[in-house]
Amino acid sequence: MKKIFLTTIALLSIASASVFGMYGVDSGWINFLTHGNQFRARLDQLGFTLGNDTIKGTFGFNNNAGYGGVYGSLFSTANGITYDFKPSISMGLGYTSSLISVGVGYNATIGSQRWTKYNGKAEGKKTEAVAHTPVLVLNAMDNAFRMAIPIQVVNLADKYEGGDKSRFTAVSLDAQFRYYTGLDFLPQIRLYLRYGNYGYEKTTGGTKDKGTFAETFGFDFRLWFGSMVEEVAINPIIKIQYNGALGKQHNQTRIQAADLVHYAALGGVPTTWTENWAKGAWDLKIIPALGITANSDIVSLYVEPSLGFQITQKGSATDNKVKELYSLYYGAYAEIYITPLKNLEWYFEASIGNVGNTKGVAFASSTGITWYLPAL
């Protein structure tokens, strides 16, 4: 039973994460210091983690489709042969010990579109937009406490032929903190903190101007409870999630700086971000979920159905009395691990659920293999 419980904790440590392995621009980096040596190839990632009991490193690629980076085709012939490989590239180095482990990482996320940079000339050139994400990862208390703090930064600056200047800057934080308590009834606590700021500076005809398009704050607090029913681990989970606008009213609830590479053409800034709306947007979700884990020597299964309550406040440009919307939140998440050989694992992930106040469902999945390698 102890083996099953420890396996459950290991599965829970990666369940419900949006990025696995070869590490994306968000707090999926929290697993870097505990991952063993491995080569991983999935639909949304490619890379490796290697090291010994003290030093480890990682290098790889991540699709990060939601952040502007896309694998695309290696070459595109629509307008002649052009380079079209645009993932998020990650690399990291870590020191590990039982007392404390620390790591640093970096992601470069290449935009799905180029922007025109003039650099003081009459005709501009197409330039890649890149989001930079430095990361700090720290584990302590024999990995019972874990944290990952990635900070996304995008800076698009240009100078025009007449002397005018512009700079668009976005910064966002997507931190995660975990504590594995060692208690059977409350095995794990998680806290996610999210902050984003998107602003500009410009000089037009000698007149300087600067401001903030949008600023957001959010958190996600989760409690895991534990029990065993024969050979199955049952883990009720409580999730409280909030995202909302700060300061100047606007219609954004969560700014992620890497998204700015989508709007790299400077004229592509969403106009709704520049308006002083009468009422800002926010959303709140209270989601009870149930994590169920079962495993054998070859197959491990984790499923997590959820049904909760959500409040959505849409921003309004003119009406400061616009009412919030109440609705049910539902979803289901699953992971399957099949290990036909000792060091080779096939992985499948799937999720389905409603998003915000939209009708219908959103479905996402990933699959691929992990080859576990011996220590160096």
Task: Return the minimum-mean-pLDDT range out of 83-87, 123-127, 138-142.
Answer: 83-87
Half-sphere exposure of 60 (CA within 13 A, CB side): 28
Instruction: Report the distance separating Cα 364 and Cα 349, nearest Å.
Output: 8
**pLDDT tens readout for residues 2-53:** 443 333 333 333 333 333 336 778 878 999 999 999 999 987 788 999 999 8
- CB within 8 Å of 282: residues ≥ 6 apart: 242, 243, 244, 245, 253, 313
The predicted pLDDT at position 274 comes to 52
- CB within 8 Å of 227: residues ≥ 6 apart: 184, 185, 233, 234, 235
Instruction: Report the distance separating Cα 200 and Cα 167, nearest Å.
Output: 6
The predicted pLDDT at position 74 comes to 40
**pLDDT tens readout for residues 298-326:** 999 999 999 999 999 988 877 788 889 99
Name the 3-class secondary structure at 267.
helix
Give whichever of 57-66, 106-115, 310-319, 323-332 has the largest mean pLDDT.
323-332
What average pLDDT does the segment 172-183 reach? 95
Its pTM stands at 0.85
CA 271, distance to chain mean position in Å, is: 25
Instruction: Report the distance separating Cα 191 and Cα 283, nearest Å.
Output: 17
Give, in degrees to the nearest 5, the angle at Cα 268 between 313 and 321.
20
**pLDDT tens readout for residues 261-302:** 766 544 544 444 555 677 889 999 999 999 999 999 899 999
CA distances to 26, 66, 204, 307 from 285, rounded to whole Å, are 20, 21, 43, 10
Residue 219 pLDDT class (50, 70, 90 cuts): very high
Residue 236 confidence (pLDDT) above 80: yes
Q: If you compute the radius of gyration of the chain from its CA atoms, what whole number of angstroms results?
A: 22
Residue 87 confidence (pLDDT) above 80: no
What average pLDDT does the segment 196-215 reach? 86
* % of the chain at pLDDT higher than 70: 80
Residue 350 confidence (pLDDT) above 80: yes
Q: Centre a 10 Å sphere on the Cβ of residue 122 and count the other Cβ atoms it contains.
A: 8
Which has more confidence, 260 or 93?
93
Domain 2-372: top CATH class = mainly beta
